[in-house]
Structure 1
Amino acid sequence: MIATRKGSVGLLYMAPALLFVLVFVVVPFVQLVQTSFTDASLLGGGGFVGLENFSKAFADPTFRRALWFTARYTIIITPILMGLGFALALLTAPNRPLEQLTRGIVFLPVVIGLGSSSLLWFWLFDQQVGLINRFLVDIHLLAQPMVWFTKADLVMWAVIISVTWKVVGFGMILFVAAIQSINTEITEAAMIDGAGPWQRVWSILLPLTRRTILLATLISAIGSMLAFDQFYIMSGGGPRGQTFTAVYWIYQQSFISFKLGYGAALSLILTAIILFFSAIQVFLSNRSPGND
């Protein structure tokens, strides 16, 4: 009787969260699945078309190119964010005033909106008034200002620089927390045994923070696969659609071309891809001995 009453109280406390998930996650997802099998658009329609949207998606060369561009972007930026974030964590992990100040400065861009930071870096890379071009010309690395947004690879690297500046502090904080949770007796014993700094990092810190590294990698990879704002603001998908990400193309089809049914099908395909790689990350994390 008491156990039943406690269970009822627990469900009562969980009810607001469950209601939120039902209204804002489950119901929209069910509607998304339903829409993906129709020819619905912003202008009307909504007749059942079966798997037509999905077959069209797999045959869509622009969607395939967008997926490949998104994959390249994710593969490049994720190791950069993880490596730089971990390096900054190693430098700022001690709780001394200078390290604490450095952590605060590095973390500060995280609180800036992605749209605002992308617009800031768009101005910095501008051919006419951008400080980056001016600096590179002044130190004679460029003979004249470069137009950064005329080639897909240049756009990608400009976006990578801007996103790294904005979010690397988040990974740094995760890694700092993981490093500080390690028993200091372990590292002190390694120092007594003659282990150098790199040996301690490789043999102690990396294994014991492996689960945090996998979590940060998962968060970074999912965020990169869902990239939209930074490319929308900095390149507009150009030149000639070469910097369309998967989400950008979904937006283009759903709200510019008014093809809600087709956009829903594209969204489900992207969701399936993200869930597949997320499952792999979770599997690896559960097998990890670190951070228990």
Structure 2
Amino acid sequence: MKRRVVVCGEKWVAEQCLEFLYDRNDTEICAIVAAPKDWQADLISFGAKRQLKVFIGNINDYIEELTCLKPDFIFSIQYRPLLKSPILNLPSHGCINLHFGLLPRYGGCYPVAWTILNGEKQAGATLHYMVNKFDEGDIIAQTTVLISEETTARELFDSISKAAVKLFIDTYPVLFSDTVKTRSQDLTQKLYYANDSIDFDRDRVIDWRKTGTEIHRTICAFSFEPFQLPLTSLHLPDGQQLQVTVTRSRLHNNGSSHPVENAGHIMEVTDSGKLLVATANGNLIEIGLLNNKTSRDFIKSLGYSPNDVIFK
């Protein structure tokens, strides 16, 4: 007898897991619940091309339709709405979530950004059973990826996506067997971020009164090309302030921990046109591009030299 599964999800990771499930002879995808808009994948078209049932929006709105399908599993893959009790109790073998964080740490929202902002050396994905509260169910399996000092949010998201797909593929065959082992989460170690924990319009603006490490983490955490880039304000000699994007940065940590008065001032211009900007503790941030132009050339295009401009 084929395993009957429902998949609710978004993005490339959900599409890859659906491809895997669709190709298995022992599995039937009895429905897909897709987001109305998806920047990375089209699960609606995926289902339509294969003549699968597709529901759009919040899975909790389809309890009657899904009850009739009698699923064995419901998989939540990069899916945003909280599954309520009637949905959680529906499948015979439970609901399973593929979360982009190493639970019990980094539950909730924006685990990629927070992992970088907090200076972690590794991130990952967790496959776990779902309960009434976000990201608190028993853990089935986890996978990790490394984070370097230069890793951006987009790079980390893509790395976790690939690792998460492999985790799902490797783990799926044992879910119906007696060999699947789970472990409860140590919720004393829980780290959870709510939806309002980051304001992307506000928090991606660089504050040059912070340390070099803090600024560099901000730049990396809010670099998600091509959709989002960190911002900085340039104070021009005529008194105007211009807000521009920052990319291709690097921290020059000289070991300083003493406050300085020239934070935001350009200390050096490299031969390749990169700017070295002072931070509050004396470390320097190397800025390669402003508004996607070589930093020195962008400032010159405004009619100024680098010595005329201060980062605010």
TM interval, short-chain normalised: under 0.3
Q: TM-score, normalised by structure 2?
A: 0.18
Tell which has more relative contact order, 1 or 2 (C-alpha 8 A, sep 6+): 1
More strand per residue: 1 or 2?
2
Q: TM-score, normalised by structure 1?
A: 0.18
More helix per residue: 1 or 2?
1
